[in-house]
A and B are shown apart, each in its own frame.
Chain A
Amino acid sequence: MNRRKIWETLRPYVMILPAMLAILCFVIYPVFYLLKLSFYKYNLLNKAKSKFVGVDNYEQLFAKDEFYTALTNTVWYTIATVSLTMLIALLLALWINQKKGKKINALLQAGIFTPHIISIVSIALVWMLLMDPNHGILNFLLKLVGLPPSKWLQSSSTSMMSVILVSIWHGVGYYALIILAALKSVPPTIYEAAALDNASRFKTFYKITLPMISPQLFFILIIMTIGSFKVFDTVRIMTGGGPNNSTSTLVYHIYEYRSNNLGYASATGIVLMVIIAILTFVYFRMLSKKIHYQ
């Protein structure tokens, strides 16, 4: 009897043990290891020569101009990518949702989703070709409509915009599909009720559609913010942080110090983690009241 009772209390813990072990090994331990590294001057060649330096790495970090450049770049990148992707995805989803033809819809959905299944490396490479100032199609098109050509990735004033453009293009279809699914789950009779209540199109959107899809929008906002703060691949391939550090982001900054100053890179990683944690927390505090869960 007693043994059975013990088993009853233990059972849930035993059940989640494998998952917890995996999380412990692959999430918790690395995070703490990263934290430890950030307090060391680490020697990759000779581990024994590594030494504890306290908050030196952090002091160094907050004194570096490059870090602030990377941080500012990342913030701008995040703001632009998240807001524009969400806006375009929402508009796309609304547009597809009000289309009646089944075949056209399937085609459109497949079309906007395709960028998501292509490797970002390939996408970045193709866009680099398109954005070539001399032979690229984009400049050719600009000239065709009579606009001045752009230097795209090769000027520090347009490089960030170009990276943002590629990121949006890559992500927008995927998020549009999530929003579309949310839109489709709104019962049509609610819209009919709104029509009978003499609601204008704007009011219907603002008071009914938007609250109904708010959980999905909130999810996208958080996922995208976190993802954008960690942007790396496009930068690595398309610009290498340049020209003149104009596209250097936090993760790219970490990457640059991966071998010659591991402790410093770790400290940057910790700072990035803290920023994302704070941001997510703020989002929840600010928005959770406005989200309507069914």
Chain B
Amino acid sequence: MASIEFKKVTKSFGDSTVIEDLDLMIEDGKFTVLVGPSGCGKTTLLRMIAGLDPQTSGAVLIDGKDVSHTAPGQRGVALVFQNYAIYPTMSVRENIEFGLKNNKVSKEERKELVESISATVGLSDYLDRKPSTLSGGQRQRVALARAMVKKPAVFLMDEPLSNLDAKLRVHMRIELIELHKKLGSTFVYVTHDQVEAMSMADTIVLMNKGEIQQEASPDTIYREPNNLFTAQFVGVPPMNTAPLGKDGASFGFRPESAALTRSATDAWFQYKGVIMTREMLGSETIYHVKGDRYTFMIKCYEDLFAVDEPVYVGVPADKLFFFGADEKRIAKNAPGYQAYLDWLRRQVDE
């Protein structure tokens, strides 16, 4: 069990600074998901925790202790690599055992641990196989087992499910959540898939270009995005946003907050457009509505409209978000909020 803390951490590769003055607290025993677009520095952050690519300046603390000068093997962390990094020359058993052997765990204890862990991840029948004879999913289990067997205080995972097919991914997601419950150790999980982030996390840390955009529970991130980036990153499809035409501010609403109607209603924000495309996803349908000024994605649970049909998009006042020129969200009780709300209503009336 351990918390992880970043204090004014900067990381540069040569002259390019990837992360600058980052402060972050990852709580003990929580399932924290690092999410963000490709190249935003997630892997870099994870590798700093593991000690594989130490920070350029600042300090990383594990369990309150500065580990800047602690070797990766001594930090009590285990890392599941994105490409698994299984030792190809060793059998599955040797792969799982290697860390234990290096930590001078006795032979009987080792045997017991390997058996129990391999049973947990369903590898018992494969212990004497070479990794090259395993499927992608099985290799991933080897990587997981190798990390689990060390009983690490911190469990780091770098997109461990990205190479799996959709079905196995959903299955492994559930297994990981259960694993976290069972082990109770600190999990830091990297992904660029926000569905994965939403479904697994206690806390989501959303990053962009080396900066933390928001650090909150999935619920908060979804309902109260801090800024335009978060709003546009989270959700499938993400939030509709458009310039408000005043002070450089923008407004936005979730695709499922809007209602589509054939005739005008008295919704606070009303916009007339034509359905451009229709994506039927089973339980829901996503319409792409285009008007003179805006295009919106609208999610409906009933499939009532056809392509090329003229429709009204209606959004109630309490489902509207506003973002200032600095891209920060304007809170409902902030002074400018009501003015923007009124402005939006007047805009569309014309």
B100-111 vs A, Cβ < 8 Å mask (1 yes, 0 no): 001100000000
Would B73 and A197 count as touching, CB distance under 8 A? yes
Residues of B within 8 A of A211 (CB): 89-90
Given A208-B89, A292-B88: A196 and B73 within 8 A (CB)?
yes
B88–A203 CB distance below 8 A: no
Q: Which of A189, A195, A207, A292 lies in contact with B72, CB distance below 8 A?
A: A195
Q: Give the residues in chain A near B102, CB-CB below 8 Å.
A: 197-200, 203
Cβ contacts under 8 Å, B85 to chain A: 187, 189-190, 192-193
Query: In angstroms, how far is the closest chain B Cβ from the Cβ of A208?
Result: 6
Question: What is the CB-to-nearest-CB distance from B131 to chain A, in angstroms, rounded to a whole number?
Answer: 11
The distance from the CB of A71 to the nearest CB of chain B, in whole angstroms, is: 37
B99 at the interface (CB under 8 A from A): yes
Is residue B87 within 8 Å, beta carbon to beta carbon, of the partner chain? yes
Specify the chain B residue showing the minimal Cβ separation from A192: B52
Closest residue of chain A to B147, judged by CB?
A196
User: Considering only CB atoms, which chain A residue lies closest to B74 in the complex?
Assistant: A198
Tell whether B2 is near chain A: CB-to-CB under 8 Å: no
Which one of B72, B78, B88, B150 lies within 8 Å of A192 (CB-CB)?
B72
Complex contacts, A9 vs chain B, CB 8 Å: none
Task: Give the size range of B's interface with the partner.
Answer: 20 to 34
Cβ-defined contact, B73 with A190, below 8 A: no
Contact with A along B44-63 (1 / 0, CB 8 A): 00000011100000000000
- By a CB distance below 8 angstroms, the chain B residues around A194 are 87, 98
Task: Give the contacting residue for B81; candidates A192, A207, A214, A294; CB below 8 A.
Answer: A192
A203 nearest CB neighbor, chain B only: B102
Q: Which residues of A contact B50 (CB under 8 A)?
A: 192, 196
Name the A residues within 8 Å of B78 (CB-CB): 196
- Chain A: interface residue total (CB-CB under 8 A): 20
- A251 on interface, CB distance cutoff 8 Å: no
B72 to chain A: which residues have CB within 8 Å?
A: 192, 195-196
Q: Which of A195, A198, A207, A212 has a CB less than 8 Å from the CB of B52?
A: A195
Please report the C-alpha to C-alpha distance between residue A112 and residue B103 in the assembled complex, in whole angstroms.
Answer: 39
When distances are taken between beta carbons in the complex, the residues of chain A under 8 Å from B87 are 190, 193-194, 207-208
Given A198-B74, A212-B88, A189 and B81 touching (CB < 8 A)? yes
Contact of B99 among A189, A192, A198 (CB under 8 A): A198
The answer to whether A294 touches B132, judged by C-beta atoms less than 8 angstroms apart, is yes
Residue in B closest to A196 when the chains form the complex, CB atoms: B72
B83 CB–A CB distance under 8 Å: yes
In whole angstroms, what is the CA distance A214 to B90 when docked?
13
Complex-state Cα separation, A141 to B51, whole angstroms? 47
**B205 at the binding interface (Cβ < 8 Å):** no
Write the nearest CB–CB distance from B3 to chain A, whole angstroms. Answer: 19
B275 within 8 Å of A by Cβ?
A: no
Q: How far is the CA of A195 from the CA of B53 in the complex (A)?
A: 12
Given contacts A189-B83, A203-B102, A294-B132, contact A196 B89 (CB under 8 A): no
Q: Are B77 and A196 in contact (CB under 8 A)?
A: yes
Q: Are A193 and B81 in contact (CB under 8 A)?
A: yes
Residues of A within 8 A of B146 (CB): 193, 197
9 closest Cβ contacts across the A-B interface? A198-B73, A211-B89, A197-B99, A189-B85, A198-B102, A193-B85, A292-B89, A195-B72, A196-B72
- Which A residues lie at the B interface, using CB under 8 A? 187, 189-190, 192-200, 203, 207-208, 211-212, 214, 292, 294
A sample of 9 cross-chain residue pairs with beta-carbon separation below 8 angstroms, ordered by A number, consists of: A193-B81, A194-B98, A195-B72, A196-B99, A198-B99, A199-B99, A200-B102, A211-B89, A212-B88
Question: In the complex, given contacts A198-B103, A207-B89, what are 7 additional A-B residue pairs having Cβ atoms less than 8 angstroms apart?
Answer: A189-B83, A192-B85, A195-B71, A196-B77, A197-B146, A200-B102, A207-B98
